[in-house]
Amino acid sequence: MSKRILVVEDEFIEANHLEIILTRAGYEVCSIARSVPFALNIIKNENPDFVLLDIMLKGKLTGIDLGKILLERNIPFVYISANSNKETLDAAKATEPYGFLVKPFREKDVLVTLDIAYYLHEHRLQTALQKELQSDKINTNEKTYTFGGISKSFLDYRLIGSNAAFRKVLNHLQLVAPMETSVLITGESGTGKEKIAECIHGLSKRSDKPMVKVNCAAIPATLIESELFGHERGAFTGATEKRIGKFEAAKDGTIFLDEIGEMPVDMQVKLLRALQEKEIERIGSNVPIKINARVIAATNLDLENEVSEGRFRIDLFYRLNVFPLSLPPLRERKEDIQLLANYFIESISKKLGRKINGISDYTFNAMINYDWPGNIRELEHFIERSILLAQGNIIDNDELSVRVETKAFRQNVVEGKTIEENERNHILSMINKCKGKISGEDGAAALLGIPVSTLNSRIKKLGIEKKTHFRE
């Protein structure tokens, strides 16, 4: 039985275009509504399986108003939109749609968006990932996952972890990888956005084709068009020979646009046209060249904020954000630190020809308490540095303890007090934390990262009374 779709669109041409696309694909368009009251009446009588909903409708009620009602009734829907400001976008996202279609849209955009939306709606509570998370214990030794008849190892891409938010990303990755849709990967620097992109390409039908990577932030604004689209000989000063761009080089493979948020606005217009028309023109030529590369983009910026500030085009944002993947920072994945550390110890030790068996409790506790602003990349570099510095076969590096305690000291600093008063308060807090113990591995001196003799000297100078604060 074909799925029944309600189209809520007040522009006749757009509505008719959608009806043709959907009917040709085997869907049943139960009706076309041009206002929210009319749509509500159809929903009551026709009970559609899905709604395609324009955000801006004529009348007092907008598509967002209807979206709130659809959310309450658990009816899946996708928004259709032209350019919208950040306030409208935030309001639309709050109604939890299953996607956005940006005008003008292509047939493939509509059908892929519907496929993804149906999957997310029908299977989000029954996916294999959720069953795994509901089990008493996640098998962290399982390194191979199967999807769509393709068996790949996430470990090959260093995608390791049992954190629920991260496993959700991997679940969505497996869903979108075999499809042709664009993917936007967001997350802080060092969270593994490039590895996610590589995995998507590796699990796709294009895995035997090239994956071309472009760091948009590293290319001067004057050269980025030539890098992406190529140029003809003599197109500009210095163009001594013809050069193909990254889109042509990607051919039928994947192009990864890293740091897409750094792309100049005038270049965003040209990129949008290339994505919409599926063709480019080399600089110095007016001959269009068809392209068939899948686009994966990544950024560590808040693109919605960039849109509101006028630094990123909202139509390009919609075009790229068909299927978003948001990577959690390492500070929100503390349960994964040991898994990642063990992986890096094994791989880096082998590379360096060292035999490291583990991490001291002291160092591991510091790793857990540290915020990792550089995320997984910083953890990898810390492990490599610690292996190089290790005197035996155990990592015992107090580098992070010093950083953690320095941060704690700064947080404890009270304005208006002298340096000595702040130092006294900090030492007292460490002594109290260690229950009055000064020496030993669990003593205040070790926690502060200074010799016991130095701490005793500071205690005496700062007038900290032994009978009040110290263990007998």
Each residue of 178-232: pLDDT tens digit?
888 899 999 999 999 999 999 999 999 999 999 999 999 999 988 999 999 999 9
Residues 177 and 199 sit within 8 Å (Cβ to Cβ): yes
The confidence score (pLDDT) of residue 376 equals 95
What CA dihedral angle connects 160, 163, 167 and 170, to 10 degrees? -40
Tokens representing 256 are: 């990864």
- Better-predicted residue by pLDDT, 42 or 443: 42
- Lowest-confidence pick of 291-295, 330-334, 448-452: 448-452
The domains of the chain, with CATH numbers, are: 4-107 (3.40.50.2300), 128-328 (3.40.50.300), 331-402 (1.10.8.60), 413-469 (1.10.10)
The confidence score (pLDDT) of residue 408 equals 53
- Better-predicted residue by pLDDT, 454 or 241: 241
Mean of the pLDDT values across residues 334-347? 92
User: Over the Cα atoms of the chain, what is R_g?
Assistant: 28
Mean of the pLDDT values across residues 396-425? 65
Task: Tell me: pLDDT of 354 over 80.
Answer: yes
The amino acid at residue 381 is: H
3-state SS class at 393 = coil
- Better-predicted residue by pLDDT, 150 or 165: 165
Name the β-bridge partners of 153: 144
The confidence score (pLDDT) of residue 388 equals 92
Task: Tell me: pLDDT of 458 over 70.
Answer: yes
User: Which pTM was predicted?
Assistant: 0.69
